[in-house]
Structure 1
Amino acid sequence: MSSALVRNPGDGTNFRYYTNVIEQVVSNAETGGLATVTRSIARPDQAPPLHTHSREDESWIILSGRVRFWVGSTSLDECDVHEAEPGAFVYGPRSVPHTYQAITSTAELLIICNPGAIEGYFHEAGAADTRSDASHSLMEEYGFVIHGNPPPAPQTY
């Protein structure tokens, strides 16, 4: 990338991951491998399972809604729990277990991974109806481990 990049909402390309449509705001290739950035609408019933990345740090900027984060243990019951509101920045260093869940009917997030190679996993895994990571070998290839189920769907407010 030899110049600044400005990408407004909706200017990136969309892809399907699980049951979400995610906007690729900035790609791994565009940053020379330094980062990948996506925009996602989170819903309470679409939380990722508790997991750990071994190769990248992950950050979230909450654009709208409220999001609950579980951090620091391989058990949801033992994690530190934090709530983030619009404008919040959340940082999750590599090797620290985490998950998150919208606690409003929807929440819009920018998700930043440094470095950006994990982007390949999200594109390769694909949509729920055509998942290609069922054996977890794709997860292993990209250096992350699932520790448990997603949090149960909360009462939204």
Structure 2
Amino acid sequence: MSVALVRNPGEGENYQYYSAVIEQVVSTTETDGAVSVVRLAMRRGDAPPLHTHSREDESWVVLSGRLRFWVGSTTLDACDVRDAGPGAYIYSPRLVPHTFQPLTATAEVLVINNPGAVEAYFRSIGSADARRDGEHTDLLAQYGLTLHGDPPRAE
């Protein structure tokens, strides 16, 4: 990429990941693999399982709603728990277990992966009426992802 990229909300390509629609704000192909950024609209019950990335750092910028983050251990009970509202920035380096979940009915968050190769995993899952992360452990492993347990339950 030889020039700056400006992409306003709604200008990115949308694709289905489980029951969520993700907007690809910037793709790894547009940044020569350096970064992938998606805009994720989440509902109260949406949450990935506690997991670790071995190949990329992950950051989030909360755009709306409130999110709870579990970080730092392979069990939810042992994780550091932090809540984040609009404007918050959260960072988790590779090899640090983490997960997150909306505390409000809906939330919108930018998810930033450096480098951006994990983007291909999200695209390969496609549409499904419910999350089935445990059925994709081989695919997850191809992208350096390890699951540590179930997602947090909505409170």
**Same fold? TM cut 0.5:** yes
What is the alpha-carbon distance in structure 2 between the residues aligned to residue 16 and residue 132 of structure 1?
14
Per the normalisation by structure 1, the TM-score is 0.94
Secondary structure of the structure 1 residue equivalent to 2:141: helix
Where do 4+ consecutive residues of structure 1 move more than 6 Å?
A: 130-133
Map of 2:17 onto structure 1: 17
Q: Deviations over 1:91-117 (max 9, x none)?
A: 010000000000001111000000000
Distance 1:51 1:132, change over 3 A: closer
Distance, in Å, in 1 between the alignment partners of 2:55 and 2:8 is: 28
> Is contact 2:40-2:110 (8 Å) kept?
yes
1:18-43 per-residue CA deviation (whole Å, 9 max, x = no partner) reads 11000000000000000000001111
Question: How many residues are paired up?
Answer: 154
Cross-structure match for 1:26: 26
Counterpart of 1:61 in structure 2 is 61
Structure 2's unaligned 5+ residue stretches are none
Q: Deviations over 1:34-79 (max 9, x none)?
A: 0000001111211100000000000000001000000000000000
> Structure 2 CA distance, aligned partners of 1:81 and 1:47?
14
Residue of structure 1 equivalent to 2:119: 119
Percent same amino acid at aligned positions?
61
CA RMSD, 1 decimal = 1.6
- The CA distance in 1 between the partners of 2:80 and 2:130, in whole Å, is 34
Distance 2:99 2:129 in 1: 23
**In 2, distance between residues paired with 1:76 and 1:127?**
27
Structure 1: distance between partners of 2:115 and 2:4: 18
Q: How much has 1:131 moved relative to structure 2?
A: 8.3
